Every structure is written in C-alpha cells, then in structure tokens.
Amino acid sequence: MNDNNQPSVFNEILISGYQKVFDENWPMWLGGILIGLMSVITFAWARPWGVAGGLRNWGDWFFSSVGIYAQQPQSPLISTNSILTLGLLWGAFGSALLSRQFAIRKAPPLELGKGIAGGTLMGIGSAMAGGCNVGGFFSAVSAMSASGIAMMIGLLIGAYLGLRYLYWELEHLPSGSIKVAETKEKGIDWLKIEPYLGALVLIAAIVCTWIYNKNAYTRVGGLLLCGIAFGIIIQRTRFCFVRGFREPFMTGESQMPRAIAVAVIISALGFAALKYSGVRGENVYVPQAFWFGGLVGGVIFGIGMVIAGGCGSGSVWRAGEGQIKLILAVVFFALSTSLFKAWIRSSAGLTSLMGFRVFMPNFISYKWSLILIIVIMLAYYLITTWNEETEKFVVEI
C-alpha cells in the first residue's frame, strides 16, 4: 500500500459522488418522493410549504415602501412565507451553479412578454385560490382542503386552454430567437468556477441559518433550510408542475404527472398524521376558496403557468437558473398577487364569492378524506399512464 495513493482514491470517490449528484439530472419519480417527504418534514417543523405567499410578501413590501399601501407587511426577513420562497430561489441558484447550469439566459421579446403576462395571471389566480400550484393545490390537497381539489380541476382546464394558445401562437406569431454570443472571450472560464461559487452560495445559507438561530429565530432559520432543500431537489429533478398538467395534452408523457401523484399521496399521509394527532391545527392551509376561488383561480393560474413556462415553484427555480423570462414572471407574479389579494380583502362581497373553508374530514371523516385523495391521485396516475400509450388526450398541432 502506498500512502500517497490514499488521498487520490478519496478524491475520486468525492468526484464521482459530485458527478452523481450534480452532473446527471435525478429521475422525476425520485423528485416526487423527495418532495412528498420534504413537504411533511416542513409541516412538522413549522408550517406547510408554499411559494405564492412569499411572493405576495415581497409585493406587499414593495407597495408599502413606495407608499401605495398604508400598512407595512411583516418584514421579508422574518416572514415564514418569504423565507420559504427565498430558500427555494437560493437553493435552486446554488444547485444550478454546482451543476454548471447557471447562465443569464436572454429571450426574444415575445417570450419576455409571455413571462410578464403569465406571471400576472398566476398572481391573480393564486390570490383567488389561496395559493399557487404549491400552496393552493399541492399543500392544500395534502391538508385535506376541498379547495385544493377544485384547483386541480381548474389547473387542468387552464393548462389545456394555455396550450391551445401556444398552438395558435406557433402558427400566427414569429417567436424569433436570440443570437448567441461566442463564449470564447479571454479571461475567466465561468463554467469551471461555477461549482465553487455554488458551494459558497450553499455554505452562506448555512451561515444565515446559524445567524437566525443566534437571534432566536430558529424556526425561521429551519424554514430557510427547508426552502433550500426544495430548491435543490426541484432544480436537480427539473420538477415541474406545469409539465404535470400540460404534458397529458401536449406530448402524452406521463412521468411528471405520476411524480406529482406520488408526491401528493406521501404528503397527504404525513399531513393527516400531523393534523389528526393534534400536532398541527386542522384549519392550517385550508383556504376560503371552495369552490369558486379554487376552480376559477386554478383556470387563470393554469393559463398563466403554461404561457410563462413555469408555475409558482417552477418560475422561481428557473429564475434561480438565470432565465430572464422567468425572472420577469416572478416579479409580475409578486406584484399582481399582492394587488389582487388586497382588492379581494377590501371587499366582503369578493371575499365571500371566493368560497368557503372546507376541511374535508369535518364532512366525511379523516378516513374517507384520505381514501378520496389517494383514489383521485391514483386515478390521475393511471389515466395519464394510459394516455401515454393511447394519446387519447393529446392535442395535435
């Protein structure tokens, strides 16, 4: 045995480990399982996972600092909504750097316009449904809120309508393309440096968590780590709820719909345990949005997410990858959801139009609520798999 060989063997193990995690994309089904588990861990730690709430907090903060809102929102630094979304962005950014997938990606003008329009629609839809595809659908269904199921139906309808628009656009509008600059400039080779920057970005997040902990904000710090875990998982698996609802109509591919069904089932089982045992309140993440807000908000959100090419979580992680179109979508999402929510809240009529708070176990017991959710998700799993073979729902161009 030559002692000098030891470090190089260890290096090889490290390098091959790094390549496994950050070179190859992870399979989508693994993303589904990990997101289901992270959802339960996040709820057990503090609260359910959400994305739109954080964007709204940023929008509220912006409007109050320019003097449009009289009331100041909770500081984005300690709002749990804001921290979860910040963590998602942070984790996706770090993960994109570590995978050498970060680049400022410009897009043609039409695409930028679609980012703005899609983001605005998603902001309106999530204000109506009590959350985006995450808080309004994924976490809400897990929390056994009937509004989550209403939103799922709305998202499917919206995804179909959005796709019809894209087909129309393909025939009638020139999409253009971007001239790619030759990246042979002298100086720094960014791709080589990205992984080191990514490691620094993630270490900085751990330092931030430690600072929160020092200042007695351990709960917030932990949520930052949860958000970062979501960011890494989602960026590595390219987990995309838009795909989950669009693909059955576009290509018929069913990997993503199946991964979402798996994630919801795991998450719902965990939420049921946490709520039934009294560890968490029964009304948590049961928004007043059954059925009008959930369904119609879902349709509007669904159209927006397909046009933008990213949902609540998807726009944020792609923004973290440097895509200008999705950065615009996130900004307009934050602004429009803040304004629209403020408008709904200012009117008792609009608030009641959105619907009721329906916690399913209050009507059909925990057992039947869980069975119903699992049956719906299994049905989605099976129907999309069948559709992949038969292409019954696929819309031809």
Q: Whose Cβ is closer to other proteins: residue 170's or residue 375's? A: 170
User: DSSP letter at 136?
Assistant: I
- Compute φ and ψ for 288, nearest 5 degrees: -80, 75
CA angle 55, 34, 368 (to 5 degrees): 90
* Interaction between residue 258 and other proteins (CB under 8 A): no
Q: Whose Cβ is closer to other proteins: residue 3's or residue 396's? A: 396
* Interaction between residue 312 and other proteins (CB under 8 A): no
* Interaction between residue 188 and other proteins (CB under 8 A): no
Cα separation, 97 vs 211, in Å, equals 24
Cα separation, 235 vs 31, in Å, equals 10
Cα separation, 80 vs 322, in Å, equals 24
Window 26-45: contact mask with other proteins (x via CB under 8 A): --------------------
Considering only 2, 7, 173, 179, the residue that binds other proteins (CB under 8 A) is: 179
Considering only 19, 65, 75, 251, the residue that binds other proteins (CB under 8 A) is: 251
User: By CB under 8 A, what part of segment 325-354 binds other proteins?
Assistant: 325-326
Cα separation, 125 vs 133, in Å, equals 10
* Interaction between residue 1 and other proteins (CB under 8 A): no
Q: Take residue 131 and report the two structure tokens written for it.
A: 């959350």
Using alpha carbons, list the distances in angstroms from residue 60 to 85, 163, 313, 334, 344. Answer: 15, 31, 19, 8, 14
Q: Whose Cβ is closer to other proteins: residue 60's or residue 388's? A: 388
* Interaction between residue 190 and other proteins (CB under 8 A): no
* Interaction between residue 240 and other proteins (CB under 8 A): yes
CB of residue 30 to other proteins, shortest distance in Å: 14
Q: Take residue 338 and report the two structure tokens written for it.
A: 């803040």
Q: Take residue 160 and report the two structure tokens written for it.
A: 């179909």
How many alpha carbons fall within 13 Å on the CB side of residue 84? Answer: 26
User: By CB under 8 A, what part of segment 99-118 binds other proteins?
Assistant: 101, 105-108, 111
Considering only 142, 323, 336, 338, the residue that binds other proteins (CB under 8 A) is: 323
Distance of CA 290 to the CA centre of its chain: 22
Q: Which residues bind other proteins (CB under 8 A)?
A: 25, 101, 105-108, 111, 166-167, 170, 175-184, 238, 240, 242-243, 246, 250-253, 306, 309, 318, 321, 323, 325-326, 388, 397
